[in-house]
Amino acid sequence: MSYLVFARKWRPPTFDDVVGQEHITETLKKAIEKNRVAHAYIFTGTRGVGKTTTARILAKALNCEKGPTPTPCGECLSCKDIVTGSSFDVLEIDGASNNSVNDIRELRENVGYSSMGGKHRIFVIDEVHMLSNSAFNALLKTLEEPPENVIFIFATTEPQKIPATIHSRCQRYDFRRISADHILERLVHICDREHISYEKAALMLVARKADGSMRDALSLLDQVYSFCQENLSEKEVRSVLGLVGLEVYDRVMDAVLDKDGAVMLGVVQEVLYQGFDLQEFIVGLQEHLRNLLFARIPGALTGRGIDLDEETARRFTASAERFTEADLLRMAEMVKRTEYDLKRSAFPRFQTELMLLKLVHLDSTVSIEQMVKMLGGNVADDALSLPATNPDAVMQTVVKKKLNIDSVSAPEPQERASLPDDGPAEEVPPPYDAVPPGFNESGSVQEVPVSETTAEPSSSENDTTSFEYSLKPGEVPDIQQLWPLFLETMLRDRPKLGSFLSLATVAGHSSRTIDLRFAQAFNFQFQEVNKKSNREEITNILHTLTGNSFEIRMTLETESTGEPQQNYFKPAGIVPVSINDEIEQEPIIQTVLDMFDGEVIE
């Protein structure tokens, strides 16, 4: 007897043996049990996922001597004839070579004949999308009202080419691309039954190379088994399948770390000299970067359903420790983009070399916090502790420093602890450019007694200053004390909205109103704050903190307001003469500008 390849020898005999298509096999089994089998089906999906195999199993289930049954015996004469292709009741037609209208007319004549012993006559047309339009039209009437016990099964990889009139007369089942894990599980089962020793990593290479096709996976397994004989090793499988070895990718990562472009160009020369395809090399590099990235995430490398041997896992982990996750992500993006461009490049070798040289000259990803610490910056600790990816938090720190909030807040815990329990606090000079009515000429505020609860140190260094502010009936609010504290709360809870508010000046106030004025340069901030939702939120927060209802009225200055400047006041430094100048004065920004010889642009 001639040799039978794995793809034929291990073709699934029952619905339960079909891998990765449970959504279809379970539906067909229940349809058979309930005697609700349709007269026409369309099986669609990529190559090698089980379309024709499922059609044969359905034919066996309907014509089995013990059936119709969802579990055909496979031993009766009808089941054996269907498997060997000699059954008179199951006719398989190749749509690519029998696509004319005359072929369909002949099929229509055969449909009228009675079965030769089976319960159903089943016509399986493979690659049905190859039929001509005339052939499809000739099939319409028969397909809509076929003779009793006649079933059509159409298999195709391109369902969009089938006319809608055919679709509407059939039940359509979409076969999924089989996952690599399901293919690996099936390959392990076959190797165990065939008494083939293997490395699981080698079988995983076969599963990924199959690209979702079980038939391709079995054909590849047959191929590598012929080369490797009784033991399937990863190194030999890579050689047979034309996959670049891990040592080549290790050299690539070493060259990235050492900034050695000559080694990179030598890798490309070696890959081409050994006969590997550059597209396969790029795909393998993507897989290598993926493994390195997962090695940086605890438990991810061994938790993907792939059992790597300890030596390989340690190898990936040791190599991954030399790079940050951000660096690996950037490299993966560059390789992915090159893989896409390579398909349309007239000079793929240069495209590959260009990508590898970019990897060599790729700078490491460093956060602003790390950069300032390395440069010995003198930015305050609270600013350094902020995440570099949170611009709102950085803005909050910058504006808080501009407001000099520390000078109007309660003293630090160490200072408060040294005060008497009922003693007055020290006079704090007001951080304002002008003094409104009600304050003495020196600009100092009235002495504010510190309560016993305030004098105690805070339980946490990160606690934010809170306050209670209430008004008696008819009392005018102490707006110079109220407004900076309110801005501090807004910067803490709503940093973006608070930073916009901090750019306004207080043009006037009464017992229940606060008038804000924005300069013409801050038109955008004015428009944002003046939105109905933001105005309501500002009013609600102010009411929650003070226990009083204030109406916030906002206006935008024109080029010449005509109003005297002494009617305005603002926290010191809140509105810079030049925004760019003020930005440049920030220590963290100044450090970066000095380092890169940069400038702030609008």
What would the two tokens of residue 380 be? 């305050």
Q: Copy the structure tokens of residue 54.
A: 């499922």
Report if residue 49 sits inside a domain: yes
What is the rounded distance in angstroms from the CA atom of residue 158 to the CA atom of residue 593? 58
Asked if 10 and 156 sit in the same domain, the reply is yes
Cα 257 to Cα 331: distance, rounded to the nearest angstrom = 12
Q: At which of 430, 455, 480 does a domain end?
A: 455
Share of the chain above pLDDT 70, in %: 72
**What's residue 309's pLDDT?**
63
On whether residue 599 sits in a domain, the answer given is no
- Asked whether residue 167 falls in the same domain as residue 248, the answer is no
The total of structural domains in the chain comes to 3
Classify residue 223 as exposed, middle or buried by CB count within 10 Å of its CB (0-12, 13-18, 19+): middle
pLDDT of residue 70: 92
pLDDT in the model for residue 479: 72
Contact call for residues 355 and 334 (beta carbons, < 8 A): yes
Residues 325 and 431 in one domain: no
Residue-level pLDDT at 511: 72
| CATH number for the domain harbouring residue 30 | 3.40.50.300
- Which pLDDT does position 538 carry in this prediction? 86
- Statement to judge: residues 10 and 138 lie in one domain: yes
pLDDT (0 to 100) of residue 582: 55
CB-facing half-sphere around the CA of 504: CA atoms within 13 A: 29
Q: Are residue 349 and residue 426 in the same domain, yes or no?
A: no
One-letter identity of residue 42: I
pLDDT at 251 over 60: yes
Each residue of 309-331: pLDDT tens digit? 667 778 888 888 888 888 899 99
**Mean pLDDT (whole number) for 247-273:** 90
Listed residue (324, 350, 323, 325) closest to 338, CA to CA: 350
Average pLDDT over residues 225-231: 83
At residue 443, the pLDDT reads 45
Angle at 259 between CA 254 and CA 265, to 5 degrees: 75
Six token digits for residue 468: 């209670």
Query: Is 573 inside any structural domain?
Result: no
Task: Give the pLDDT of residue 110.
Answer: 84
Same domain, 248 and 166: no
Check whether residue 336 and residue 436 sit in a common domain: no
pLDDT value of position 124: 93
DSSP 8-class letter at 476: P
Q: How far apart are CA 416 and CA 453, in angstroms?
A: 10
Domain end, chosen from 335, 365, 395, is at 365
Residue 494 identity: R
Residue 342, both tokens = 């390579």
Residue 382 included in any domain: no
For 327, the 3-state DSSP assignment is: helix
**307 inside domain:** yes
Please indicate, yes or no, whether residues 76 and 172 belong to a single structural domain of this protein. Answer: yes
The answer to whether 541 and 501 have CB atoms below 8 angstroms apart is no
Terminal Cα-to-Cα distance of the chain (whole angstroms)? 82
From 153, 176, 199, the end of a domain falls on 176
Q: Is the pLDDT of residue 520 over 90?
A: no
On whether both 435 and 361 belong to a single domain, the answer is no
Range 539-556 average pLDDT: 81
Which residues are CB-contacts of 455 (< 8 A; sequence separation ≥ 6)?
416, 417, 419, 421
- Looking at residues 181-205, what average pLDDT do you find? 90
pLDDT in tens, 405-437: 444 444 444 444 444 444 444 444 444 444 444
Residue-wise pLDDT for 558-585, tens only, equals: 754 444 444 444 444 344 444 555 555 5
Q: In this structure, are 334 and 444 located in the same domain?
A: no
pLDDT of 402 higher than 50: no
Would residue 438 count as lying in a domain?
yes
Three-state DSSP at 180 gives helix
Q: What is the mean pLDDT of residues 232-260?
A: 88
Residue 491 lies in a domain: no
Are 87 and 118 contacting, i.e. CB atoms less than 8 angstroms apart? yes
Question: Distance between CA atoms of 249 and 359, rounded to whole angstroms?
Answer: 13
pLDDT exceeds 50 at position 485: yes
Structure tokens, 72: 């055909």
- For residue 287, count CB atoms less than 10 angstroms from its CB and return exposed for 0-12, middle for 13-18, buried for 19 or more: middle
Structure tokens at 498: 């608070």
pLDDT of residue 160 exceeding 80:
yes
Same domain, 308 and 170: no
pLDDT band at 377 (very low <50, low <70, confident <90, very high): low
How crowded is residue 174: how many other Cβ atoms within 10 Å of its Cβ?
A: 13
Domain that holds residue 164: 6-176
pTM: 0.57
158 and 289 fall within a common domain: no
Given a contact cutoff of 8 angstroms between Cβ atoms, the answer to whether 550 and 543 are in contact is: yes
Q: Is residue 538 part of a domain?
A: no
Rounded to whole angstroms, the Cα distance separating 455 from 440 reads 27
Phi, psi of 271 (to 5 degrees): -60, -45
Q: Which of 128-132, 193-197, 447-451, 507-511 has the lowest mean pLDDT?
A: 447-451
pLDDT of residue 590: 67
Reported as a single tens digit per residue, the pLDDT across 43-94 is 999 999 999 999 999 999 999 988 789 999 888 888 998 988 888 889 899 9
pLDDT for 577: 42
The CATH number given to whatever domain includes residue 347 is 1.20.272.10
State how far the alpha carbon of 92 is from the alpha carbons of 77, 128, 321, 396, 507, in Å.
18, 11, 57, 74, 89
